[in-house]
Structures are given as structure tokens and as C-alpha cells.
């Protein structure tokens, strides 16, 4: 599809799903061009580089910036990152209460991780109060990737970069949640068989 005389890559997000809806998501983000910026696997365990430590720290602070976000298990790998992110509305065990909507996927801009986002609550702006729409998964991941990139560029190296897209999967039930958790936790010891 052409947009402003350039080919536009269609979104990989599921068009019929509201990505601000309460659910658990399995996400994967890769470095460009799969360069091992984040460290190395030594005897089945991940040893984080300075870049990997930044990824670890930025991920752990996401719930401080997004009030309705919880984190499941995650793993910083040499050239990618796996994690489970739970956006408000998940049930008490942390598993999603699935609901399908007709709202679009990943639109809007990433929020600076220096600010806290109040998920769908009234925000005072100095003008008439307005309702701030809840951020989507794309907004949250975009903010995370941006914060990591800025910090690595400022403190470690300018050559770092992410691949443009990220992989996501809406986790549909408790069995799938447990299976994905196990996959993430075992990722470092399975590194040789994957690479």
C-alpha cells in the first residue's frame, strides 16, 4: 500500500482486537541486526552487558509509569527480549479475561517514561478536564524501546538499535500462560539450540 509515495508496511497487530483492553500479552523485541548488544549466555545463564542492564532496568519500571500494567516473567537475551505484560482488566490470577472488540490496534504516540500515565482517568491540563485514552500495547512497547534507546545512546554507545517491529501474542488461557512462562524461563539454557 502506498502512503505519501512510499510503500507502507501493514501492521502485524490483530485488527479486531483492542490493544488497550485488559489482557496478558507475550512480546518479543529484537535488536538490529540481531546483534548481541545485551550480553552473552554463559553455562546456560544470561550475563548482562551495560546495554542489557539498561533493558532490565527500563522493563522493571514500566508499572511505575503505567498504573494499570503488571509484568509477568521476562528474559533479556543476547539479541532479543521476551516478556509477559499484563494490561489492566486481567483476572485476579493475572491471566486475561479475553474480550474481542472492533476497536483498532496500535495507534498513537509512545509516552515518555519520565511520566506516569493514568489509564483512562481524568487528567488536569489547565483547561477543561479531559479523559486520557488508555495506552495500547504498542504505546507501552514504543515507550519502552524509546527509553532503552535513549539511555543506551547517552550512556553506552550510539550504534544500538531495535528492529522496527515487535512480536506479540494475546495469551488466551491459563495453560497458554503457563506454557509461555516456562518457555521464557528456559530460554537462556536453550540458547544454543535456538541460535
Domain 21-100+108-190: CATH superfamily, name plus number = Transposase IS200-like (3.30.70.1290)
Q: How far apart are CA 151 and CA 58, in angstroms?
A: 9
Residue 6, pLDDT score: 53
Q: How far apart are CA 62 and CA 157, in angstroms?
A: 23
Q: How far apart are CA 165 and CA 158, in angstroms?
A: 20
pTM of the model: 0.74
Q: How far apart are CA 147 and CA 58, in angstroms?
A: 7
pLDDT tens-digit map of 128-160: 555 677 889 999 999 999 999 999 999 999 999
pLDDT tens-digit map of 40-95: 999 999 999 999 999 999 999 999 999 899 999 999 999 999 999 999 855 434 44
The total of other beta-carbon atoms located within 10 Å of residue 65's CB is 20
Residue 169, pLDDT score: 93
Domain locations along the chain: 21-100+108-190
Query: Buried b vs exposed e over 75-95: b needs ≥16 C-beta within 10 Å?
Result: bbbbbbbbbbbbbbbbeeeeb
Amino acid at each position: 500500500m502506498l502512503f505519501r509515495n512510499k510503500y507502507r508496511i501493514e501492521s502485524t497487530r490483530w485488527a479486531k482486537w483492542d490493544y488497550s483492553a485488559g489482557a496478558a500479552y507475550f512480546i518479543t523485541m529484537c535488536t538490529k541486526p540481531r546483534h548481541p548488544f545485551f550480553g552473552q549466555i554463559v553455562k546456560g545463564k544470561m550475563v548482562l552487558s551495560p546495554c542489557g542492564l539498561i533493558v532490565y532496568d527500563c522493563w522493571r519500571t514500566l508499572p511505575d509509569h503505567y498504573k494499570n500494567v503488571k509484568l509477568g516473567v521476562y528474559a533479556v537475551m543476547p539479541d532479543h527480549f521476551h516478556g509477559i505484560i499484563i494490561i489492566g482488566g486481567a483476572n485476579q490470577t493475572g491471566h486475561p479475561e479475553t474480550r474481542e472488540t472492533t476497536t483498532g490496534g496500535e495507534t498513537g504516540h509512545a509516552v515518555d517514561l519520565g511520566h506516569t500515565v493514568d489509564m483512562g482517568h481524568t487528567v488536569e491540563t489547565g483547561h477543561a478536564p479531559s479523559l486520557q485514552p488508555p495506552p495500547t500495547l504498542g504505546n507501552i512497547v514504543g515507550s519502552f524501546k524509546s527509553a532503552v534507546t535513549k539511555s543506551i545512546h547517552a550512556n553506552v554507545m550510539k550504534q544500538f538499535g531495535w528492529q522496527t517491529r515487535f512480536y506479540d501474542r494475546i495469551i488466551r488461557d491459563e495453560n497458554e500462560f503457563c506454557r509461555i512462562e516456562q518457555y521464557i524461563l528456559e530460554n537462556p539454557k536453550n540458547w544454543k539450540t535456538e541460535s
